[in-house]
Amino acid sequence: MTETANVRAKNENEALLSRRHVLHLGAVSGGALMLAGLPMSAWAEQAAAAAPVSDKDAHFFLVIHMFGGMDGSYLFDARPLEMTKNEKMQNYLGKEPVLWQGSNGVDTWATELVKPLEIYKNNFSVINGVLMATTFDGHDQNVNFLVTGNAFGGESYIPNLNAGTKTPLDALLAGFLPVQANNHASVVPMRLGAFNSLRAQMKVATALDGKSPVIEFIRSRMAALGQGPGRFSEGASALLKMHGVSEALYQKLVTVPDIAEDPAKDSTADSMRLAFEMFRYGIAKTAILSNIENFDTHAAADAKKQPELYTKAVASIEKVFKLLKETQYDQMRSYMDVTTVLISSEFGRTMRSPMASTVQDTGTDHNPLTNMMIVAGKGIKGGEVFGATDFQTSDEVLSGAHLALDSNKLKVMGRPFDFSTMKPSADKPAGLSLANYITADSVVNSLYGLFGVDKSHYRVVERNGPVAKTIF
């Protein structure tokens, strides 16, 4: 390229860039965009091009993971104070729960903390008593179980939801989710600040444009080295193949408008806003927001703060629902209409610690025998309650299945579930048969059903067991 050509290219590029871009770039790059003729025109042309297209079949997925082990007894799986008076369980809220009536005829006790969610009642349903990895009680193991169906990790369900009209990324992850998934390569950790920084870097980077000579050359070498047998050739060939897909991702990313960070530094609002744009522009179908509040209240001092902790948790959920309802996907639909939402944790919590002398001064430990989840949005009828837990009174006779897993009677456990009536069963089985309970596998298979995932991915209960039945 001659000097004249360089100057001309530079002028063209600058003309194509908006004033906002130029100001932004100047601040970020310190003038580096003066360098090459290649990058800027491609960026600006693409950024000015396609607007997002409304998809009548749009269907997105939002996961809110409350990491640490959320105690349903402060939300939709509460217990009467009688349990506390009889030293069975802590209750630092100190108030009797109220009845939360499901539109499907199933009720549950809820605390007053959930009151702010009442206005969204028709948008979400509660699932109580979800069994996790019953014989493992580690955080990682149960996150693995929830996400992959195996306490030691494996195939995550999240990329499987990205079937049909495939997006370049499987999911955005904001926060911390310690999962050993063998298919999470396109689950991209990203917060809004990082996204804006990356885009600033992309703007001054050489455009990933197959028509530019240097990119064409790079691909020609990948092609040349990809010839013939051997793992290196196969690797080069795979690299070449993905270079093209990556260009498509690049083109989508450059069309996303700048997303301003929340003035109040609200990370949930920022992550939601980023997720909405990623959905709208067809970059990802799923966003995972992993909350880092301290739900892991082993110490009594931490457990005593649970009323405040769950007040904040409810406020976060309320904010998510509000944003989903009030943000339009297109003229006719809000994001609540086009997004299925799963709010969960990796397990519930024990009712008290075995070490504590009194329930007035106890922490709580991990309890994989139950988990409370909330599902909302597209495909969810709303207002329903699925599942239930045992140990509703201090003198309840527990099942043999429960006692085999919790001989000290420190845990509540999901009750058996009648999948034909979709209601909790009063059975007290002597032994555990997971097919008769709501497990994380049932929840995932239900999501698979909503997203039209191929049956071959459906999870089975236990090794070589039947396919886990769906609940919504």
Partner 1 sequence: MKRASKLFSLVLPISVLVVGSVALSAPSEFRGYEAINSLLRQRLMEPGSKFELGIYLGQPVRSIFNSNLTDLLGSYSSGAMNSKFQNGAANAANVLLWHVAVSGLARDISRLCVEPAALPVQPRFKNIVDSLCGWPAASAKEEKVLLKYWFALMGYRADQAEYEAWRDFFLQTYANAGPAETIAAMTLAIGNNPYFLLQ
Please give the residue ranges that form the binding site for partner 1 (CB under 8 A).
1-3, 6, 32, 35-38, 138, 140-141, 152-153, 168-169, 173, 175-178, 180, 182, 184-186, 188-190, 194, 196-202, 204-206, 208, 213-214, 217-218, 220-222, 224-226, 230-232, 234-239, 241-243, 245-246, 248-250, 253
User: What CA–CA distance (Å, rounded) separates 288 from 147?
Assistant: 12
User: What CA–CA distance (Å, rounded) separates 232 from 424?
Assistant: 55
In this complex, which beta carbon is closest to partner 1, that of residue 5 or of residue 404?
Answer: 5
Minimum distance between the CB of residue 6 and partner 1, rounded to whole angstroms?
6
In this complex, which beta carbon is closest to partner 1, that of residue 211 or of residue 231?
Answer: 231
Minimum distance between the CB of residue 433 and partner 1, rounded to whole angstroms?
27
In this complex, which beta carbon is closest to partner 1, that of residue 110 or of residue 204?
Answer: 204
In this complex, which beta carbon is closest to partner 1, that of residue 29 or of residue 360?
Answer: 29
Neighbours of 381 (CB within 10 A): 13
60: helix, strand or coil: strand
Q: Which of 83, 118, 79, 148 is nearest to 372 (CA)?
A: 79
Backbone angles phi, psi at 14, to 5 degrees: -65, -35
Minimum distance between the CB of residue 202 and partner 1, rounded to whole angstroms?
6
Q: Which of 38, 50, 100 is nearest to 72 (CA)?
A: 100
In this complex, which beta carbon is closest to partner 1, that of residue 231 or of residue 455?
Answer: 231
Adjacent-strand bridge partners of 100 = 108
Q: Which of 134, 130, 163, 148 is nearest to 345 (CA)?
A: 130
In this complex, which beta carbon is closest to partner 1, that of residue 38 or of residue 114?
Answer: 38
Beta strands in 23-146 (DSSP E): 60-66, 98-101, 107-110, 124-127
Q: Which of 73, 62, 311, 246 is nearest to 172 (CA)?
A: 62
Minimum distance between the CB of residue 172 and partner 1, rounded to whole angstroms?
10
Minimum distance between the CB of residue 464 and partner 1, rounded to whole angstroms?
23
For 205-263, the DSSP string reads SPP--TTSHHHHHHHHHHHHHTSSSSHHHHHHHHHHHHHHHHHHHHHHHHHSPP-PPPT
Sign of the Cα pseudo-torsion (144, 145, 150, 155, in order)? negative
Minimum distance between the CB of residue 226 and partner 1, rounded to whole angstroms?
8
Minimum distance between the CB of residue 188 and partner 1, rounded to whole angstroms?
5
In this complex, which beta carbon is closest to partner 1, that of residue 231 or of residue 463?
Answer: 231
User: What CA–CA distance (Å, rounded) separates 327 from 316?
Assistant: 16
362: helix, strand or coil: coil
Q: How far is CA 364 from CA 296, 355, 391, in A?
A: 8, 10, 16
Minimum distance between the CB of residue 406 and partner 1, rounded to whole angstroms?
24
Minimum distance between the CB of residue 230 and partner 1, rounded to whole angstroms?
8
Minimum distance between the CB of residue 138 and partner 1, rounded to whole angstroms?
7
User: What CA–CA distance (Å, rounded) separates 439 from 445?
Assistant: 10
90: helix, strand or coil: coil
In this complex, which beta carbon is closest to partner 1, that of residue 168 or of residue 414?
Answer: 168
Q: How far is CA 93 from CA 110, 128, 305, 309, 379, in A?
A: 12, 20, 9, 11, 34
Minimum distance between the CB of residue 244 and partner 1, rounded to whole angstroms?
9
In this complex, which beta carbon is closest to partner 1, that of residue 116 or of residue 138?
Answer: 138
In this complex, which beta carbon is closest to partner 1, that of residue 217 or of residue 301?
Answer: 217
438: helix, strand or coil: coil
Q: How far is CA 422 from CA 101, 223, 340, in A?
A: 15, 55, 20
In this complex, which beta carbon is closest to partner 1, that of residue 141 or of residue 370?
Answer: 141
